[in-house]
Each structure stands twice: as structure tokens, then as C-alpha cells.
């Protein structure tokens, strides 16, 4: 992780911020640091994914998911991600990172994450995530049961997300995935 110091700072301070439900939106004020930018003076496209990690961790801590994860020795992993850039976040610019659960299916929890400045979306990403235990993937049913929550009735995974996930999925880790260009 490129932003380890920021993650440790976030983990130390997120618990002091207002609690959230895991289905609420987390908002984290940020600033584009010198370590985030590239030669063009804006946040490097690859750096956004590391910064988005911070938003998901903020939501997990403030919603109590982090404590359940630590207790059960679960590890979060990203299975797929897609991102759209609208405007550049430049060096020293203040912005807010917003994170919410977009929906769930039988395998993944999907997050929508945004970088917002001056009331406008600059960057938006969608992440397909899972939690893993030493025994393998943790089911969403188990996660919800351990959290004591149910999926809100109005939280329906958008059709495009299901299609994106299906269209871009690689075979599972125990199945062959030959390296052949089509």
C-alpha cells in the first residue's frame, strides 16, 4: 500500500469521528500531497486506487466492520475496479473522498467512491471487494450476520455493475487462466 502512513493515521483517528452504518456514506477530507502527484502536477491515475483504500477503511472503521474483521482475522481484498476521470486533482488541492456501498451480490460487496472538489465529482470509481479468512472467502451472509444488519430494501446492485463484473471476470485462482492474446 502506497499510503501506509495515512492509513495508520486514519485508523488512529477514524474512531473519533461520528459512527456510521455500513450503508451510509463516508466522507473524508483530504489534500493532494507531493507524494500523490506525477510530473503533470496532478494525482497520478494509479494513486487514486491507493487513496480509495483509505475511504473504504474509514467506512469500515466508523461502521464497526473493522472490529469484526480484526476479531475474525478477515482480510479485505479488491477483486475488480473501474475508474472514470473527469477533472484533475492538482497538488495541494483540497478535496473530499466519498465512499458508499453500491450494492451486493452473492460474492462481492461493491463500493462507489468519488473524489469531490468544489461540489463537483472529479473522479469516480467502482470496486468489487470481498473479505477473506484463512478458510477462504467470507460470505456476505456471514458478514451481515456478524454485523447484525440487513441489506436495505432500496440497495439494489445496478445492472451495469453486474454486467461489468461478469464481462471482466477472470477464472478463479484454482482454475487455469492461460496467457493467450485473443
153-168 pLDDT per residue, tens: 999 999 999 999 999 9
| Whole-number pLDDT of residue 1 | 57
158 within some domain? no
Return the CATH number at 49. Answer: 3.10.129.10
Give 172's pLDDT tier (boundaries 50, 70, 90). confident
Handedness of CA 63, 89, 117, 123 (dihedral sign): negative
Q: From CA 148, how far away is CA 145, in angstroms rounded?
A: 5
40 within some domain? yes
Mean pLDDT of the chain: 94
13 pLDDT more than 70: yes
Q: Quote the cell numbers at residue 158.
A: 445496478
| Whole-number pLDDT of residue 39 | 95
Assessment of whether the complete model's pTM goes beyond 0.85: yes
Number of domains in the chain: 1
Show the domain range for 62. Answer: 4-146
153 within some domain? no
Q: From CA 73, how far away is CA 78, in angstroms rounded?
A: 17
Q: Quote the cell numbers at residue 42.
A: 496532478
182 pLDDT more than 80: no
102 within some domain? yes
Residues 71, 76, 81: CA angle, nearest 5 degrees: 165
178 within some domain? no
The residue with cell 445492472 is 159
| Whole-number pLDDT of residue 3 | 87
Count of positions (residues) in the chain: 182
Residues 135, 136, 139: CA angle, nearest 5 degrees: 110
131 within some domain? yes
52 within some domain? yes
CA-wise closest residue to 108 among 89, 127, 88, 83 = 127
| Whole-number pLDDT of residue 174 | 87
Q: Quote the cell numbers at residue 153.
A: 430494501
End-to-end CA distance of the chain: 32
Average pLDDT on 86-104 reads: 98
| Whole-number pLDDT of residue 25 | 98
Rg (CA), the chain: 17
84 pLDDT more than 90: yes
Phi-psi region of 60 (alpha: psi -120 to 50; beta: other; left: phi over 0): alpha
Q: From CA 147, how far away is CA 170, in angstroms rounded?
A: 30
167 within some domain? no
Share of the chain above pLDDT 90, in %: 85
Amino acid at each position: 500500500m502506497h499510503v501506509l502512513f495515512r492509513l495508520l493515521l486514519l485508523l488512529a483517528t477514524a474512531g473519533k469521528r461520528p459512527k456510521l452504518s455500513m450503508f451510509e456514506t463516508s466522507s473524508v477530507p483530504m489534500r493532494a500531497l507531493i507524494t500523490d502527484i506525477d510530473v503533470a502536477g496532478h494525482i497520478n491515475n494509479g494513486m487514486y486506487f491507493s487513496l480509495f483504500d483509505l475511504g473504504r477503511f474509514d467506512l469500515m472503521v466508523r461502521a464497526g466492520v473493522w472490529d469484526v474483521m480484526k476479531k475474525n482475522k478477515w482480510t479485505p481484498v479488491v477483486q475488480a475496479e473501474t475508474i472514470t476521470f473527469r477533472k484533475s486533482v492538482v497538488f495541494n488541492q483540497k478535496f473530499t473522498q466519498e465512499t458508499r456501498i453500491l450494492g451486493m451480490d452473492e460474492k462481492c460487496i461493491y463500493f462507489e467512491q468519488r473524489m469531490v472538489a468544489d461540489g463537483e465529482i472529479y473522479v469516480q470509481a467502482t470496486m468489487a471487494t470481498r473479505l477473506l479468512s484463512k478458510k477462504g472467502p467470507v460470505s456476505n451472509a456471514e458478514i451481515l450476520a456478524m454485523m447484525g444488519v440487513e441489506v436495505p430494501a432500496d440497495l439494489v446492485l445496478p445492472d451495469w455493475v453486474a454486467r461489468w463484473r461478469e464481462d471482466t471476470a477472470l477464472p478463479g485462482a484454482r482454475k487455469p487462466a492461460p496467457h493467450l492474446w485473443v
